[in-house]
Every structure is written in structure tokens, then in C-alpha cells.
Structure 1
């Protein structure tokens, strides 16, 4: 099915809502159970574990969390992008057709060849297209695009614009259990590593890289999307059968 990719602002809104829904209650409970510097050590792994369960279960069941429902987006399975293979297929098909029409077995002789003998001094036989050889030229006919200066580049530019990336991409159904767990784990593990000095710095670098990867390519996939094979799309019409 064709879906519209979610905007970066929608994804940010969904993530903020999910973080508040999970993080605030967990931190309140942790502060009641432990005190002092232990809060900074216990709170990140506790939030990461709850976030992992919170996101993995909801994505496996409905394809969207509470934050994604609020933002109007959902997670779907990414299908292989076939648009990059189309130009090669068209070129191969054109080459095959050209080979069959040019010199295949039993090909008809070229009806557009010149009838003048090759023995005439200074004459070189030049083949003409069959259409031009059969039909006389009409002076009132409009010129072809190739004969008009700048006509061919404009047509090529139009074809290139038509083949540009579309806003809608092909996607599958909601992710399965393994995809949901993997996607949630890739996002949650850096949170759990925050108390560790060196790993905490790497986790901060991961957030920067993860945000930058979103703008690389045409499918708006972050690191956890690429590893899990998912896309985040705008939600279509509400389905009464789903929660």
C-alpha cells in the first residue's frame, strides 16, 4: 500500500509525549524508593526498561504508541524501494527492442536506403527512416521537438521531474514482534547507558547521529528504523476494529 511519510515535527511530538508518559511516573517511583546519588544511577535503566516494554508491546499490537496516536502517525514495515531499478529496466528494454528491430534474423531490408548507385563519384549511400522515405515532406507540418533549439532538453527535464521521488512510498503492514522489539531496543539502550561515563558520551553522540540520519535519503528512516526495517507514516482513516 502507498503511504505518506510522517513529518519530522510529528515524530518529535510523538517522542516527547511517549517520553513524558513513561519517564515522569518512573522517576517519581524511583525517587520514592531510593535517594541521593542513587537516583541518577537507577533512574535511566528503569526508564529504558519501561520504555522498551511500552513501545514494543504497542507497536506489535497496533503499530503505534500513545504519542504516535496523538501525533497522527504509525509505524509500518518498509518494502524494498523499486524506483531506482526502473531506469535500468527501461534502458534494457529499449536496448532489446532496438536489437530486435535492427539486425535480427529474417529482418526485412531497409526500405529507406537510397536508390542511387554507389558507383557515382562522391556519393555515399545514406539510409533514411522508413517514415521519411515513404511519406513526402509537408511544408505546412509543424517542426519536430528535436529540430527546435532547446526542445529536447526541455523534454528531458520534464521526464527527469516526472521520475523524481514521490511523497508517497510503498509500505507493508504493521511490524511484527521481533521488529517491534528490535526497534524499541535500539532506541532504549542508549538511555540505559547514561550512568556509565564513557558509554554515556557515546549515547549522546548516538542521539545526534540518529537525528541527522532522518534527513538522509528520501524515506526519512532513523537508525532504529533502518535496523528494524520500518517506516513512520501518517495515519490514514481511523480503523474502528483497532484500539
Structure 2
């Protein structure tokens, strides 16, 4: 019986699946300390794509029914509501939106030691928490649970809805600047909505 080949004898390199790796998993850092974090440029690209996907159709539809000052009042909340639904559902189901797929990044749950948060319902960190409502475990670096996905999406979408209110609209603009600035504070590149929801944005192996 022929002896099994070893790598030294010319056998092919084991595939990613045989090594426990899959194309849709986050890219690991070179030092092996968790997944590689998304670049700010990737995050900006994903946000632009998502905003165009949601915002343009909503604005076109709203413009068919209202105009003038009414348009300025109705359009922002309509875009915000659709953006909230669009993002929360996709993050909870896949951990990434269409824009994030295009940019090659995804949203994952941060380990409790990094997120600094405890699960509001159980009082324990997410790594210690049981299965989610879908029956899938909410392990560190897995996709965020539905409540976390909704919270993360809402922190970004709600300021859009407040734009028609003059003072709140100004505060919303300042909030977006501060939110983006948080990415450069610390080593985990967490915007404010990441910190509140206990998430990280990481690179993917495939788009």
C-alpha cells in the first residue's frame, strides 16, 4: 500500500477549509491577535455605497408625492427609517450590508474585554452568552445579535431623521463628525456606534 504523501514529498498545500478557514471569515491580523480591522477608507466607501443604494430611491419616491418645504421635512425621516431597516436586518442576518460587501468588510461582535459592555438582558459578556434567537451562538467575532444590530444602525440613522429640526440638525452634523473621529481614538477603530453596540468592523477574506 502506497504511503501517504507529506508536504515535503510534494503534496498540495491543505485548503483553507481543511485548516478550519473559510473564504467568508474575517482576515486575521499578522500577529494572530484577532481579525484585521477595516481601514477608514473602506468604511467610508461602504457608507457611501449604502447611502446611495437607500437614499436615491427614497428621495425619488418622496419627490413624486411632496415638494417644496414639505420635501425637506419628509425626506430625511424617510431616508433614516429605510436606512435603519436596511442596515439592521442585513447586519443581524449576514453581518454586512451591500456596501460593506463591496468594500470587503463586515461587522462582528467585539469580545467583552474590548467592547467594555455586558449583555443588557443577561448581565454577562457576549462571549459568555448563550445562543441568539436564531439558535446560533453569539461568539466573539461572530455577526452581531439583532438588538446590537438595531442599536448600531439606530445611532447612525436617528440623526438623519432630526435634520429638519434646525437646532437638532446642527447637533446631528456635529455628532457625525465626532462619531467619525472616534475611529481614530484608541487602537480598535471603533466609531461611537460601534462602542455603544459592542461591535468591530473587520476585513473579510472575500467581498
The TM-score with structure 1 as length reference comes to 0.60
Query: 2 CA distance for matches of 1:18 and 1:171?
Result: 25
| Equivalent residue, structure 2, for 1:72 | 104
| Equivalent residue, structure 1, for 2:95 | 63
By how many angstroms is 1:197 displaced? 0.9
The 3-state SS of whatever aligns with 2:68 is coil
- RCO greater where, 1 or 2, for CA within 8 Å and sep 6 or more? 1
Q: What whole-Å deviation, never above 9, does each CA across 1:152-173 have from its counterpart, x for those lacking one?
A: xxxxxxxxxxxxxxxxxx9421
| Equivalent residue, structure 1, for 2:10 | none
Paired residues in the alignment total 151
The TM-score with structure 2 as length reference comes to 0.70
By how many angstroms is 1:35 displaced? 1.4
Query: 1 CA distance for matches of 2:160 and 2:206?
Result: 34
1:3, 1:171 within 8 Å by CA — same for their partners in 2? no
Task: Please tell me the root mean square deviation across aligned C-alpha atoms, in Å.
Answer: 1.6
Query: 2 CA distance for matches of 1:63 and 1:14?
Result: 13
2:62, 2:75 within 8 Å by CA — same for their partners in 1? yes
Query: 2 CA distance for matches of 1:48 and 1:208?
Result: 18
Alignment of 1:17-96 (within 5 A): 17-81=49-113
Larger radius of gyration, structure 1 or 2?
1
Query: 2 CA distance for matches of 1:14 and 1:212?
Result: 17
The 3-state SS of whatever aligns with 1:37 is helix
The 3-state SS of whatever aligns with 2:142 is coil
Q: Does residue 1:229 correspond to 2:198, yes or no?
A: yes
User: Which of 150, 169, 186 is residue 217 of structure 1 equivalent to?
Assistant: 186
1:22, 1:47 within 8 Å by CA — same for their partners in 2? yes
| Equivalent residue, structure 1, for 2:12 | none
User: Which of 190, 196, 212 is residue 165 of structure 2 equivalent to?
Assistant: 196
2:94, 2:143 within 8 Å by CA — same for their partners in 1? yes
Structure 2 residues without counterparts, runs of 5 or longer:
1-27, 29-33, 115-138
Q: Segments of 4+ in structure 1 off by > 6 A?
A: none
| Equivalent residue, structure 1, for 2:150 | 181
1:171, 1:231 within 8 Å by CA — same for their partners in 2? no
Q: What whole-Å deviation, never above 9, does each CA across 1:98-135 have from its counterpart, x for those lacking one?
A: xxxxxxxxxxxxxxxxxxxxxxxxxxxxxxxxxxxxxx
